[in-house]
Amino acid sequence: MAYPRRCEGCGSPYTTWAGHINFPHLTLASQDGGAASPWAPDKPGRILDIGCRLCGAIFRWDYFAVAGDDTRLGKPLGLLRGPVRGWRNGDSFTPDERFWRGASAQRRAS
């Protein structure tokens, strides 16, 4: 498992959520880069931007990197955004989505 085991923003563990349908983190973006897969060393690795549904933090994640002497894959590359004040579990990460939701609510109100 190369996905993070805890949030880099709020520190909440993700391991206790194994098997849940609504996993508390999601991949917002991905690009080539970082450490190559041990199974495909000639191909580029994968850098993910991961959002924490629990606090709204977004952090960059090197999917195939080995962190320190840990043999597990996956290494945090730093926070892109810290925990969001007033964030509620399940809030949307997509500004556009929030914008359009607001726009349609305004149309209904007028």
- The residues binding Zn ion (CB under 5 A) are 7, 9-10, 52, 54-55, 57
Q: Check: CB of residue 56 under 8 Å from CB of residue 83.
A: yes
Q: Which is nearer to Zn ion, 9 or 45 (CB)?
A: 9
Cβ distance to Zn ion smaller for residue 14 or 64: 14
Q: How far is the CB of 21 from Zn ion (least distance, A)?
A: 19
Comparison of 32 and 91: residue with beta carbon closer to Zn ion: 91
Q: Residue 43 carries which side chain, given as an amino acid letter?
A: K
Least distance between Zn ion and beta carbon 93 (Å): 12
Nearest-approach distance from CB 48 to Zn ion, in angstroms: 15
Q: Report d(CA 77, CA 73) in Å as an integer.
A: 13
Cα–Cα distances in Å, from 14 out to 19, 23, 39, 67?
11, 8, 25, 17
